[in-house]
Each structure stands twice: as C-alpha cells, then as structure tokens.
C-alpha cells in the first residue's frame, strides 16, 4: 500500500535517512525503532505525505503520495501524533468527529447517519463510549490517547500512522493501547507505529523497521531485526536477547554495556554530579 523508493530525508545539513527502500504491506503492524534524533518522526510524516522528501519518493497505491489531494490522502492514511492539540473544551465525541471531515465536501457540515455510526464504532473500539459527552480537558493522558486513536478509526482509513502513542504512559496503559492497535491489524488495517520501547516492538510488531546510521539497519520480523549486533549498531550499547516462557523476545542492555562504549561512558561520567 505504501512504498518508499530511494527515500532520503535531511534536517538542515544533517542526513537522517539515505536512499531507503521498503514496502508496507496491508494488514501488518510495523514498529519503527531507533535512538532519539534518528528521524523516526520525520519518516512517518514523509510516509503520510506531510513532509517533502529530500530525495526519492513515497508511493501510495502506486502514485506519489504528494500527488494525492489532502482529502483523498486523508481517506487512505490517518496520522496521529502524541503532540496533537485540541481545544480542551471540546466534547470527546466532537474530537472523534473530526475524523469524518475527509468524507465531506468542504461546504458540507451536517453529520449524516454514516458519520454517527463511524463515530460510535470508533468510541466503542477504544472503550470510550461512556466518555462521549465529557470534555477533552477532563481526561487523563491515557484516555486522551485513546480518543486520538478513536479519531483515526473514525477516519476509516486502511493505514494508521502513529507517532509514539505509548510515550509517557505506565506499563498498563501502554499495553492497553498496543492491544487496541493489534486488534485493528486483526481487522485488516495497516499500523505503522513509532515506539521507544524495544520490548513493546518485540511483543506486538509483525515487522520492525530499525533506523540508525542514516539508514534502515533492518526491516524484518522481530526475531531477525532485533539481534544484538544490529541493536548495538543502532543504539551504541551492547544488548542481550532472551526469550520469555511465553515465547516473546525480551531485550536488555548487557550488565557491562557501558564498558563496551568508552565514549558514551565518558560522556555520562562528565554529566554525573560529584559527591
């Protein structure tokens, strides 16, 4: 559905990604991983058509993603970021209703039955029906994230691109959100999700897109993508991989990880307050 061909992205004079090529398939959960500043958010924005590529292109259904009109693109790709801001006094239902805008002409403001049904389905999917008439400002951060996902679901697109949907949440809320997204994949949607937690990617993703060194270091199933050598290349510390009794991979920094990276150890010691 979405293909990157020789995609290059830059931030000023700094190269974030150089000549990357990959295909996102229908009905899969792709986790985007990599250290801070590597360009994960920029990549997702480029895939959504919100960021012009500095080289190469992104194709949506075989056509350049930027060639689609904004409305046509929004009927195919929903893009949600943790930094999305809404008027706090909007009702939860009104926030979710924004997802229906791409399905109307610009002069059509009245909701139709199909809109009401889509909004209700989206709220039900994220278990936020009882909150429909609450104002957005009264929600917890986890509840707000679920509302934003409901907005994306109400948009009724085959592709959802999410930037750090589990950031700043405790383990319970993060697991709820990821299970919710996993259920959407079971329903046929494609989920591309920027994550910081390697173990969340190992648990939930069908494939992991690991960024580092201005390139795609690996794009494969978790067992293949999350190997110690590639992870060390990406993050700069030595990792160990274990398999939990459930069969899920678990990734840990090696006990002596920092001793294998002198420059990082020296940087940390400089920043440590002296007794």
Q: What is the pLDDT of residues 145-201, one digit of tens each?
A: 899 999 999 999 999 999 999 887 889 888 989 999 999 999 899 999 999 999 999
Does 9 have pLDDT greater than 90? yes
Contacts of 122 (CB under 8 A, 6+ apart): 96, 99, 150, 151, 153, 154
Q: Are strands 55-60 and 2-11 parallel, antiparallel or unpaired?
A: antiparallel
Tokens representing 110 are 């009245």
Q: What is the mean pLDDT of residues 212-231?
A: 95
Does 275 have pLDDT greater than 80? no
Using a pLDDT cut of 70, give the percent of the chain over it: 89
Query: How many CA atoms does the CB half-sphere of 233 hold within 13 Å?
Result: 15
Domain assignment present for 264: no
pLDDT of residue 108: 64
Tally of structural domains, the chain: 1
Domain assignment present for 267: no
Q: What is the mean pLDDT of residues 216-239?
A: 94
Domain assignment present for 254: no
Domain assignment present for 68: yes
Residue 22 backbone dihedrals phi, psi, to 5 degrees: -165, 165
Does 2 have pLDDT greater than 80? yes
pLDDT of residue 130: 96
Contacts of 22 (CB under 8 A, 6+ apart): 3, 4, 209, 216, 219
Are 96 and 119 within 8 A, CB to CB?
yes
Domain assignment present for 245: no
Confidence of residue 262 (pLDDT cuts 50, 70, 90): low
Confidence of residue 247 (pLDDT cuts 50, 70, 90): confident
> Higher confidence at residue 129 or residue 264?
129
Q: What angle do CA 137, 98, 179 make, to 5 degrees?
A: 75
Assign residue 201 the CATH number of its domain.
Answer: 3.40.50.300
Angle formed by the axes of helices 113-125 and 171-186, to 10°? 130
Confidence of residue 260 (pLDDT cuts 50, 70, 90): low
Longest Cα–Cα distance in the chain: 67
What gap in Å lies between CA 163 and CA 79, rounded to an integer? 8
What gap in Å lies between CA 135 and CA 164, rounded to an integer? 23
Domain assignment present for 158: yes
The pTM score is 0.86
| H-helix segments, the chain | 40-47, 70-74, 92-97, 113-125, 141-154, 171-186, 198-204, 222-225, 228-235, 262-271
Domain assignment present for 261: no
Domain coverage including residue 15: 2-236
Q: What is the mean pLDDT of residues 246-275?
A: 61
Give tens-digit pLDDT for 75-133: 999 999 866 666 678 999 999 999 998 888 765 667 788 899 999 999 999 999 999 99
pLDDT of residue 220: 97
pLDDT of residue 273: 43
Confidence of residue 210 (pLDDT cuts 50, 70, 90): very high
What gap in Å lies between CA 28 and CA 6, rounded to an integer? 22
Q: What is the mean pLDDT of residues 252-257?
A: 78
pLDDT of residue 107: 59
Domain assignment present for 247: no
Confidence of residue 244 (pLDDT cuts 50, 70, 90): confident
Average pLDDT, the chain: 88
């Amino acid at each position: 559905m979405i293909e990157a061909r020789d995609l290059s992205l830059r931030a000023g004079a700094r190269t974030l990604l150089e000549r990357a090529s990959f295909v996102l398939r229908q009905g899969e959960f792709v986790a985007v991983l990599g250290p801070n500043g590597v360009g994960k958010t920029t990549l997702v924005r480029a895939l959504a058509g919100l960021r012009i590529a500095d080289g190469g292109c992104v194709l949506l259904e075989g056509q350049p993603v930027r060639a689609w009109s904004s409305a046509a693109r929004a009927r195919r790709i929903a893009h949600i970021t943790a930094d999305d801001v809404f008027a706090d006094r909007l009702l939860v239902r009104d926030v979710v209703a924004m997802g229906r805008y791409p399905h109307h002409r610009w002069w059509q403001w009245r909701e139709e039955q199909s809109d009401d049904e889509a909004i209700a389905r989206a709220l039900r999917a994220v278990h936020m029906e009882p909150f429909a008439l609450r104002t957005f400002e009264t929600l917890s951060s986890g509840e707000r994230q679920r509302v934003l996902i409901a907005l994306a679901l109400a948009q009724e697109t085959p592709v959802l691109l999410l930037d750090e949907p589990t950031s700043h949440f405790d383990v319970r809320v993060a697991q709820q959100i990821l299970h919710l997204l996993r259920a959407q994949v079971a329903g046929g949607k494609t989920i591309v999700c920027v994550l910081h937690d390697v173990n969340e990617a190992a648990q939930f993703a069908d494939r992991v897109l690991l960024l580092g060194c201005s390139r795609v270091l690996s794009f494969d199933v978790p067992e293949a993508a999350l190997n110690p050598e590639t992870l060390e290349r990406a993050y700069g510390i030595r990792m160990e991989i274990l398999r939990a009794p459930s069969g899920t991979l678990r990734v840990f920094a090696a006990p002596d990880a920092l001793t294998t990276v002198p420059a990082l150890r020296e940087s940390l010691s400089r920043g440590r307050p002296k007794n």
